[in-house]
Chains A and B, each alone.
Chain A
Amino acid sequence: MRRPASSRTEDNGRRFRLRTPLRTRPWLATTSAIAGAFTLLPGAALPFVVGVAIDDGIAAGDAQTLGMWIAVVAALALLQACATGVSAWASHTMWVHGSASAQHALVTAVTELGADLPRQVPTGDVVAMGSEDVYQTGNAMELFGRAAGAVITFGALGAALITISPLLGTVAMVGVPLAVVGIGPLMRPLVRRKEAQRERAAEVNAMGADIVSGLRILRGIGGEAPFRERFVRTSREVLRAGLRVGKVQSWLASAEVALPGLVTVAVTWLGARLALDGTISTGELIAFYGASAFLVVPVKAATEAAEEFASAIVAVRKVDSLVRRSRSHGEPADPLPLPPGPLAVTDEHDHLPAGRLSVLPPDRARAERLAGVEPGAVRIGGIDIARVRHHELRRRVVLVLGDDLWFSGPVGTELAAGDRVDVARAVAAADATDIIDAFPDGYAEIVSERGRSVSGGQRQRLILARALTLDPDVLILDEPTSAVDAHSEARIAERVAQLRSGRTTVVLTGSELWRQAAAHAPNAPANDREVSR
């Protein structure tokens, strides 16, 4: 073991929980809950107010009372409009805040784990976290205010109804939640079938994307017809599955009408009898009818929020499990600092002098050991590499591998990985000036993910230039020019040797051109140039 002081996935003390985003912005959460309640309360109060206005104002022919109640309706309308604005603002902000917090926690964990990430977790799972679980956190945050408001409204409305008529109030308060919640379990098997169909649909879409990605091959060699047939066949299967789901799912639409409707029918019937008895007034009957129809809104909101919270908890746990991970090799127990200035690199076979360009035969595993990405008996500047702090090692020793990823974005921004060597100088040394010149937008040109929009040789030169801007004390290059033509390779070897004079550069390659460049390189002694920082 390279770092004996470490234990596997020790707890780093970091956590990400559902309450994390709520805690960091407590006022936002409170505002969102209060505004959520006030978007619903006016709507809940309206049937009562209208009922009283009809009873005491219109039926009694009292214009002044009617006027007063109309003013109340207008005030409620204004209150609801304002609360809607505030609530929309708060829940929108909550969504952004929740998603961004989860996103930030995830990316920080990913960059911290670095090369350890693929060893510890399947990358597909992490990508899925970034595209789904992060937004699930936001969805839960967004619904927080509405859910809190729904619970408050339900309680207030229930209290009012039971005060007016204990019998009718109880029927409405028990019936509506039963009807709404009852839809859930009834439909759960249908939801599962729906998800299965959605997966099939995702499959056919992935197939379409696959065909488009390989379009140049199909158009170049042929084979359009069988691929189209295969696609249409899958598409038809998805269609048929969709029809089956549509059939079952339409029951859901039906239940959403029927179940709350039954409660309204019951309330209307009971209410009518009570009104005939004179137990309740006409206005109260209208209030009950309106309230039982309205009650569906907060109950539905609360149910939806509960479902959303349940899936958000699963999502947050996934993110949390990543956030809690640490590198499998922790920091050394008794770290030693690297000496300043150029550093010599030594492994079991060779001593590579400080401040020189050395050429070794191609060996990827050895390159990784020399850079300390994989464990090995390596000394840097005379220090055992296992005793150097991780951050210091990564700052002083840079490794470039053939399959390094090119990140998408404006090429100038992506080239500027470091600022110690000017981008234009690094580009010239990597013989990549012609690539930039050929871009219509020059350094502002967007090079797509993985550098797909440039050729293999061009990508290799850009990757080399990117590393050169860092100007590290030790630069280890594994087969840096394998896809580059011999003319360019000769230029690159010569210019890199010149640019890196006074710094340690190790090139692992089979190319004779690099060997010659190393032989002709100015053997500048280490103290020739200013190296300390």
Chain B
Amino acid sequence: MIPAPLPLANSRDVRRWLRGVARAHRRLFVTMLTWFILAATCGLAGPQILGLIVDTVAGETELPVDALALAFLGILIVQAVLSKMAHMRAATFGEHVLATAREEFVGRALAMPVGTIEAAGTGDLLSRATTDVDRIEYAARYAAPQILTSTVTVTLTAGAVIATSPLLAVGMLVAIPVIVLTTRWYLPRALPVVEQLLSGWGAVQASTTESVHGARTIETLGQAARRAELNRRAVAAARDEEYAHRGLLIRWLSCLELSYLLPVVVILPLGGWAYDAGHVSLGTITTVVLYLLAMGGPLNELLLWVEELQIGNTALRRILGVRQTPAPAGHPDGNPHGEDSDKGTATAPGCHDLLLHEVRFSYRPGHEVLHGITLAVPKGEHLAVVGPSGSGKSTLARLLAGLAEPDSGTVCIGGSGIDGWSREALRRELVLLTQEHHVFAASLRDNLALTDRECPDERLLAALEVVSAGEWVTTLPHGLDTVLGPGAHPVTPDLAQRIALARVVLADPPIVVLDEAMAALGNGDSRELERSLGAALARRTIISITHRLATAREADRILVLHDGEVAELGSHAELMAAGGSYARLVDAAG
């Protein structure tokens, strides 16, 4: 299987997407910005008022000091109210961005072609759904409002310095090259390191979680020392990444700290000269210096959060990347809502005969797995597929279910090639059940009635009866409405498999492909289950891939697959009489 990683959105797509969300909430966005700017403007009053007081004390102006203090108080109250309004809108906007991102992500994931999921592996998608969603939440809830406040404050403060004294404002310029150069040096170096160290700590956490879950295995294999050592190594790797980041960080932070105070060093002599020359008053110098001292805090905040925002940006690129998964030709399930409409030949034919003609398949060029399989399975037949591991059994199942397309040859149901079918039409016709089972963290009812939410209780209970889980339901605290899953009501692998089988019974497709679907059950249980399943799915075509000879024996016909070719095909009696590999195997197993 060649892994094909899911795509990443580029930065332009991210910006376009954010603009789209901003446009959808235009009024909110504009008022938010307005309040932020007005609040920051109020924050500039302090140094101005102190400057006026200094001039009054120096006797340059005559202003009532008490009135100035009262005005200061009034402005402070207005600033506090404006900050509240601005932050409330920022939170609202942030929540809308998050809701839109997660809903689009899940909607798109649900419409993703199965082949794409298979090729990328669920792991990548899962880490986008968890780690990356967490990261953008952090960026939207904490980083974005901070950055907004700081940006507005820094910009307005700089503007205020210029307005107060264009002459003294020249002194600010010395800070700019230091900040720009060091930040441009730091960010491109730090981001990959930060990504590395986040994944490093992710690995530490995964290793710890595994050690906890596998504590018994660690003991029975006598691996305590080795696991502890592996964990120590994972921590050491993460620590090295941390140290690499630390090296970059301390240089950058020191330079930034210097750059905040440099302008003061320049402005004091400049102010001394300008005061002597009569260009500025003492109050003006005071105001400017206080502005500069006040600017250091928000500037530092801004620069520190930029890194967080960059991480959020990377996460958002991964999340939005899911929107770009291609819908393969012939599988028109790429529309954003996943509601496939039946197209062309997609209507299920009345005849359900399954036909494979000269089917060849390879995962990698030059490594053919199936070498021209020709097979006819009439409607209602129970066919067992056996053969050694790697003989191509599961690949055959994937081709039948349309999860992969043959390199050459055709798979037909009822005389029409399935390559032209929509996903929706194909799964009405055929359901593939593998040994990979998932119980959703939802009620038992929602877990069973995936397609038909109106499904009456009697049908659900009957399906559970077929998979011998009828008794189990009666032990559940809320019956069908019991919420399952690790946090609520845990389900054993055995029951998970039964639930998966019950889903198939309820879906009731004309063709069922079982790929080792009962591997988690004991030998006796699985035989009993197969019988009741066979009864429930009577007159349906069943193709069961199995390693259990006892299961194969009960099928109408047995297909023995060997190195991607049909070695034998016939009923149990016929194959035993033929004395081929199947017969030898049955004899060996006694």
Known: A258-B76, A268-B50, A467-B221. A88 touches B250 (CB 8 A): yes
Q: Name the residue among B72, B95, B449 with the largest chain A CB count within 10 angstroms.
A: B95
Give 7 A-B pairs besides A73-B264, A100-B239, A486-B585 with Cβ atoms closer than 8 angstroms. Answer: A69-B268, A80-B261, A107-B211, A219-B423, A223-B450, A239-B96, A239-B98
A470 near B: Cβ within 8 Å? yes
Q: How far is the CA of A254 from the CA of B79 in the complex (A)?
A: 8
B111 at the binding interface (Cβ < 8 Å) = yes
Q: Are A448 and B269 in contact (CB under 8 A)?
A: no
The answer to whether the Cβ of B389 comes within 8 Å of any Cβ in the partner chain is yes
User: Taking the complex as formed, is B285 at the interface, i.e. its CB lies under 8 A from any CB of chain A?
Assistant: yes
Most buried by B among A66, A238, A242, A434: A242
Q: Are A221 and B450 in contact (CB under 8 A)?
A: yes
C-alpha spacing A400/B95, complex, angstroms: 49
A216–B84 Cα distance when bound, in Å, is 46
- How distant is A300 from chain B, measured CB to nearest CB, in Å? 11
Among all A-B residue pairs, the 9 with the closest Cβ atoms: A246-B91, A223-B450, A114-B219, A405-B214, A269-B69, A77-B261, A485-B547, A130-B208, A512-B590
- A249 close to chain B: CB less than 8 A: yes
Q: Knowing A243-B95, A289-B50, A434-B390 are in contact, say whether A219-B117 is a contact too (CB < 8 A).
A: yes
- Report B-chain residues with C-beta under 8 Å of the C-beta of A452: 436
Residue of A88, A118, A238, A247 with highest tally of chain B CB at under 10 A? A88
Contact A282 B246 (CB under 8 A): no
Judge whether A178 is part of the interface by a CB distance below 8 angstroms: no
Complex interface residues of chain B between 427 and 442 (CB less than 8 A to chain A): 427, 431-442
Taking a contact as CB atoms under 8 Å apart, the answer to whether A50 and B254 are in contact is no
Q: Is B122 an interface residue (CB 8 A)?
A: yes
In the bound assembly, the distance between CA atoms of A457 and B518 in angstroms comes to 12
- B125 to A215, Cβ gap below 8 A? yes
| A111 B218 Cβ-Cβ under 8 A | yes
Chain B neighbourhood of A232, CB < 8 A: 103, 107
Complex partner residue of A114 from B224, B245, B547, CB under 8 angstroms: B224
Size category of the binding interface on chain B: 35 or more
A108, CB-defined interface residue at 8 Å: yes
Cβ-based interface call for B105 (8 A): yes
Q: Is A417 an interface residue (CB 8 A)?
A: yes
A350 CB contacts on chain B under 8 angstroms: none
Greatest chain A CB density within 10 A among B242, B251, B286 is at B286
Name the B residues within 8 Å of A282 (CB-CB).
Answer: 54, 57-58, 282, 286
From residue 31 to 80 of chain A, which have CB atoms closer than 8 A to chain B? 39, 42-43, 46-47, 50, 53-54, 57-59, 61, 63, 66-67, 69-70, 73-74, 76-78, 80
Across-interface contacts of B133 in A (CB, < 8 A): 205, 208
Mark B23-53 against chain A: 1 for CB-CB distance below 8 A, else 0: 0000000000000000100010010011001
14 contacting pairs across A/B (C-beta < 8 A): A78-B258, A104-B231, A130-B209, A217-B450, A220-B431, A228-B338, A250-B86, A252-B87, A255-B80, A258-B79, A261-B80, A282-B57, A282-B282, A484-B389
A484: contacting residue among B225, B239, B547, B590, CB under 8 A: B547
A438 within 8 Å of B (CB atoms): yes
Question: Considering the complex, which residues of chain A in the window 254-291 have a beta carbon less than 8 Å from any beta carbon of chain B?
Answer: 254-258, 261-262, 264-265, 268-269, 271-273, 275-276, 282, 285-286, 289-290
Do A268 and B431 have beta carbons less than 8 Å apart?
no
CA A236 – CA B209 in complex, angstroms? 32
Give Cα A288–Cα B252 distance, bound, in whole angstroms: 31
Contact A235 B102 (CB under 8 A): yes
In this assembly, does B519 line the interface, its C-beta being within 8 Å of a C-beta of chain A? Answer: yes
Given A235-B103, A276-B57, A456-B519, CB of A114 within 8 Å of CB of B68: no
Q: Which residues of A contact B503 (CB under 8 A)?
A: 217, 221
A498 touches B (CB below 8 Å): no
Q: Once bound together, how far apart are the Cα atoms of A92 and B248, in whole Å? A: 12
Structural contact, B257 and A404, CB atoms closer than 8 A: no
Nearest CB in chain B: distance from A286 CB, A? 6
**What's the minimum C-beta distance from B57 to chain A, rounded to whole angstroms?**
5
Please name all residues of chain B whose beta carbon is closer than 8 Å to the beta carbon of A81 when the two chains form the complex: 254-255, 257-258
Q: Which of A74, A207, A213, A247 contacts B88 (CB 8 A)?
A: A247
Interface pair A246/B95, CB less than 8 Å apart:
yes
A256 closest partner in B (C-beta)? B83
Q: Which residue in chain B gives the minimum CB-CB distance to A77? A: B261
Closest Cβ–Cβ distance, residue A130 to chain B (whole Å)? 4
Instruction: Report which residue of B79, B87, B106, B205 has the largest number of chain A beta carbons within 10 angstroms of its beta carbon.
Output: B106
Please give, as numbers and ranges, the residues of chain B lying within 8 Å of A215 by CB-CB distance.
109-110, 112, 117, 122, 125
**How far is A398 from B435 in the complex, measured between Cα atoms in Å?**
28
Known contacts A107-B211, A212-B125, A404 near B107 by CB under 8 Å: no
Residues of A293-346 whose CB lies within 8 A of B = 293, 297
Q: Give Cα A81 to B46, complex, Å.
A: 27
Can you name the residue of chain A whose Cβ is closest to the Cβ of B115? A219
Cross-chain contact of B438 among A69, A217, A399, A487 (Cβ < 8 A): A217
Q: Which of A118, A219, A224, A453 contacts B215 (CB 8 A)?
A: A118
Contact flags B219-256 to A (C-beta < 8 A → 1, else 0): 11111111110111001000100110110011101110
From B209, which residue of chain A is reached at the shortest CB distance?
A: A127
Tell whether, in the assembled complex, residue A398 and residue B386 are in contact, meaning their CB atoms are under 8 Å apart. no
Query: What residues of B have a CB within 8 angstroms of the CB of A207 in the complex?
Result: 441
CB distance from B117 to the nearest CB of A (A): 6
Q: Flag if B219 contacts A254 (CB, 8 Å).
A: no
User: Do A103 and B450 form a contact, CB below 8 Å, given A82-B254, A456-B519?
Assistant: no
Contact indicator A210/B441 (Cβ below 8 Å): yes
Which residues of the partner chain B approach A373 to less than 8 Å between Cβ atoms?
A: 216, 219-220
Q: Is B408 an interface residue when CB atoms closer than 8 A count as contact?
A: no
CB–CB A265/B69 < 8 A: yes
B394, A455: Cβ atoms closer than 8 Å: yes
B351 CB to closest chain A CB (Å) equals 23
Q: Residues of A contacting B225 with CB < 8 Å?
A: 111
**A-contacting residues, B375-423, CB 8 Å:** 386-390, 394, 401, 423
A-chain residues with CB within 8 Å of residue B261 when the two chains form the complex: 42, 46, 73, 76-77, 80
Say if the beta carbon of B81 comes within 8 Å of chain A.
yes
A58→B257 contact, CB < 8 A: no
B227 touches A107 (CB 8 A): yes
B257 engages A84 (CB within 8 Å): yes
- Residues A211 and B66 in contact, CB atoms below 8 Å apart: no
The docked-state distance in angstroms from the alpha carbon of A450 to that of B123 is: 13
Q: Which of B87, B289, B389, B446 contacts A458 (CB 8 A)?
A: B389
**Does chain A have a CB within 8 A of B99?**
yes
Say yes or no: B254 contacts A222, CB within 8 Å.
Answer: no
B293 to chain A, nearest CB (A): 6
A334 to B119 Cα, complex, angstroms: 58
Q: Which A residues touch B111, using CB under 8 A? A: 224
Interface locus among B155-163, B187-195, B270-278: B270-278
CA distance A276 to B394 in the complex (A): 92
Contacts of B88 in A (CB 8 A): 246-247, 249-250
Check if A107 sits within 8 Å of B228, measured CB to CB.
yes
A483–B516 touching, CB < 8 Å = yes
Within 8 Å CB of A467, what residues of B?
221
Chain B hits for A61, CB < 8 A? 275-276
Distance in angstroms between the alpha carbons of A187 and B338 in the assembled complex:
45
A204 within 8 A of B: yes
Which residues from B are CB-within-8-Å of A190? none
Answer yes or no: A106 CB below 8 A from chain B CBs. yes
Contacts of A86 in B (CB 8 A): 250
**Are A110 and B438 in touch, CB under 8 angstroms?**
no
Once the chains are docked, how many angstroms separate the CA of A130 from the CA of B235? Answer: 12
Say yes or no: A417 contacts B272, CB within 8 Å.
no
**Closest Cβ of chain B: how far from A487's Cβ, in Å?**
4
Q: Does A516 contact B (CB under 8 A)?
A: yes
Residue of B68, B88, B449, B590 ringed by the most chain A CB atoms within 10 A: B88
* Min distance, Cβ B395 to any Cβ of chain A, angstroms: 12
Quick one: given A57-B268, A221-B427, A261-B79, are A85 and B250 in contact (CB under 8 Å)? Answer: yes
The answer to whether B54 touches A127 (Cβ under 8 A) is no
Judge if B485 is at the interface, Cβ distance under 8 Å.
Answer: yes
Assess the A50–B53 pair: CB atoms within 8 A.
Answer: no
CB distance from B386 to the nearest CB of A (A): 7
